[in-house]
A and B are shown apart, each in its own frame.
Chain A
Amino acid sequence: MSGQGSASRQDRSPVTDADVCVIGAGPAGALVADHLAGAQDVVVLEAGPRFDPGDRVERQERAIRPAFDRPDVWEMGGERDDHAASGEWFYPLNHARVKGVGGSTLHWQGMVMRLHEEDFASGSERGVGPDWPIDYADLQPYYADAETELGVSGADDNPFAPPREQPHPNPAFPPSYSDSMFADACDELGIAMHSVPNARNSEPFDGRSECVGYGTCQPVCPSGAKYDGTVHVERAESQGATVIDRARVERLAHDAEAIEAAVYTTPDGTEHRQEADAFVLACGGVETPRLLLMSDSEQYPGGLANSSGLVGRYFMDHLFAGVGGVLDEPTRQNHVGFLTSESHQFYDEADEEVGPFKLEFFNYAGPSPVELALTGDDWGDDLLDRLQSEYGNHVAVGALVEQLPREDSYVGLDPERTDDRGNPVPDVHWTVGDRALRTIQRANGIQRSILQELGAEITWTVGPDDTGPAYHHMGTTRMGTDPASSVVDPACRTHDLANCWIAGSSVFPTGGAMNPTLTIAALALRVADAVDAALE
């Protein structure tokens, strides 16, 4: 197994007369490339390899076996991916990101919900944080398109969701057995549950399989039922786009007004210059600011597109809160690796003191018997006794919590350490504010009440003291109207450079508490429209 698919383009030389150069072949870059291909000559530069889809089941074995850590599944780690974490909160950057065609959607959970209307107006509506320079209505048609592109399986049963204009492309996955147990408890407490929009096929869709229940969604879906960015990369290529894998962009050559070329190196160490009329940076919330900061010059000594001084600033993630326990009856966990029920009931109660959060009802609480069987010092009847004892009666309610943007939470360049190419490694200096911690406490309180109503013995809590990130990198090239306080304009074009757009969650002024990828996809489609219009 190696990160070299059979379809890899061996010639990694630049494309002549390219209209658009997209940097990064994750979901944002893939959607931009697909949307523009055909009308424009598009080249995509991807730092990582093109993985062979035939290797996915072997990657699943890595996900299950204890010999491998999570980054091993998609070959992350080593000097190429070295990083620092100088903040008060350690940030395990490589745990859930992937460098390769498809990007981190190869690894992701696949939950795709729209931000709520108030998320776009946090300052106005909640009294804290900035407003976005666009509102929900601006993004709504792109949300609908994004749901179609990703083949979202969902239902219109969420009374707290923002207005919709059309059904999801696929029906929602039915609730789980344990959802029905939670429903009784939530009914008693007056908490409404609803379905989860999933970017995995509940029915065959777009030439891809329906979900067949491998149960290892995160970090790998062997069946391809879970959407990933390779879908749109391949579609873009079928329309004439060129994708160059293992092309590591190390700086953006520029003059005062525009980017001239993306300077990249190939595995043999050769340096190339990819010129284009327009550039779209789609490298995620860490590598996009890193590339801009590495592209400093006499003209831009603080880094490219950084006249505000805010490139890399306002790094945000979602925080996890959770409570788990056991019942004295079977709860049927770990049959699948995705969620089927949530509650957004408390989301829009957010204010200055407590942020938005959503509740998630787990279908994979407690240990997976397969993974459990590969650890421990027993086998035979003793092992089976242990598996039967430890599996089967767990329940858990999780939550995602908003973190506000803070200038002292940032992605910078580590002055001391370099990667295998001699470039400074990213330093994720993550700082979490008190509002997020209060929100976790609030979520924990509701989670405890649900489990107590269910009659569960509570066995663990992830609270303010031991919370961790959801690996949603946001905020580091924020969107705004004022060039002094933002990096990109409302169309996601950099204030400083006329031919440079940024697609991805780095433009989020605030993060809300919804998984970000549907919003990333909607913004990517909007960026594609803007680039197309600019090139006409």
Chain B
Amino acid sequence: MELSRRDAVAALAALGLGGGAAAMYTRRDGGDDGDPQSGTEDEEIDVRDDHAERVAVAAAEVLYPSQVTGVEQFVTEFLGPRLNQDGHGDGIREAVGIVGDRAQRWYGAEFDALDPDRRDQLLREMGVDTADEAPDGTDAERVRYYLVNDLLLALYASPTGGELVGIENPQGHPGGTDSYQRGPP
């Protein structure tokens, strides 16, 4: 089942980042602002956000069910405005840094360079699978909150994610008032 741009927009809308907020996010490569000035703080953030996107896509490839396709585009579309969100974006960058640090220390490679089984293993070794999400918690709890659960929330609050489970209008998605009246498709 393919994730579409509509799914990413819907996931963003469920988090208060629809419409203007999504449109305001401009990528340096292909965005309206063009290339950043060399050596500026903006460039530093852009480099970190490129890294964050690669790590998030690599994580999603492990976190999302195997029948889902279009993960890279979905995660990229979702993550951009999320990284721009006050406070939350920094939390994502920090979580990505934690995961990257562990990958380098334990396996001598970037997280996104590890094969999927190793990525899965790394997250479990960090205790992210058994951690409760907490934005101000331990490393595992913050990774769970800002990276793992952010990506799971994006997927399962989207129409395609909902359909995987059997619900066309999942909680958080403003999918109207028709589907609750209908029987199973």
Contact = CB atoms under 8 A, between A and B. Distances in A.
A78 interface: no
Contact of B133 (A57, A66, A369): A66
B171 A216 contact: yes
Contacts of B173: 213-215
A498 interface: no
Interface in B98-155: 120, 129-130, 132-135, 145, 148-149, 152-153, 155
A213 B172 contact: no
Nearest to A371: B171
Interface string A58-94: 1011001111000000000000000000000000000
Contacts of A375: 132
Contact of B166 (A202, A373, A377, A388): A388
Chain B interface category by residue count: 35 or more
Interface string A214-234: 111000001100000000000
Contacts of B182: 177, 332
Contact of B65 (A216, A222, A383): A383
A330 interface: yes
A176 B181 contact: yes
Given A57-B15, A65-B149, A391 B156 contact: no
B21 to A, nearest CB: 10
B168 interface: yes
B135 A61 contact: no
A393 to B, nearest CB: 10
A387 to B, nearest CB: 5
A167 B93 CA distance: 55
A213 B174 contact: yes
Nearest to B169: A335
A159 interface: no
Interface of B, helix, strand, loop or mixed by DSSP? loop
B184 interface: yes
B117 to A, nearest CB: 11
Contacts of A370: 153, 156-157, 170-172
Contacts, number: 157
A336 B64 contact: no
Interface in B14-37: 14-16, 18
Interface string A223-265: 1000000000000000000000000000000000000000000
B164 interface: yes
B70 interface: no
A67 B145 contact: yes
B181 A384 contact: no
A108 B16 CA distance: 21
A61 B13 CA distance: 11
Contact of A378 (B129, B157, B172): B129
Interface residues of A, number: 53
Contacts of B148: 379
Interface string A377-421: 111110110011001100000000000000000000000000000
B38 interface: no
A58 B16 CA distance: 6
A374 B149 CA distance: 6
A174 B179 CA distance: 11
A189 interface: no
A331 to B, nearest CB: 9
Contact of B172 (A64, A363, A377): A64
Contacts of A214: 14, 171-174
B153 A177 contact: no
Contacts of A340: 180
A173 B177 contact: yes
B66 interface: yes
B184 A330 contact: yes
30 contacts: A57-B14, A57-B16, A61-B153, A65-B145, A173-B177, A176-B180, A177-B181, A177-B182, A212-B174, A212-B175, A213-B177, A213-B180, A214-B173, A215-B171, A222-B174, A330-B166, A332-B184, A335-B180, A369-B167, A370-B153, A370-B170, A373-B152, A373-B156, A374-B152, A377-B130, A380-B62, A380-B66, A384-B164, A387-B164, A387-B165
Interface of B: 13-16, 18, 62-67, 120, 129-130, 132-135, 145, 148-149, 152-153, 155-157, 162, 164-177, 179-184
Given A214-B171, A379-B148, 19 more contacts: A57-B16, A61-B16, A64-B171, A67-B134, A67-B145, A213-B180, A215-B170, A330-B183, A332-B179, A332-B182, A335-B168, A335-B179, A370-B153, A373-B152, A373-B155, A373-B156, A377-B130, A379-B64, A392-B166
Closest CB pairs A-B (n = 7) = A57-B16, A335-B180, A212-B174, A384-B65, A215-B171, A330-B184, A377-B129
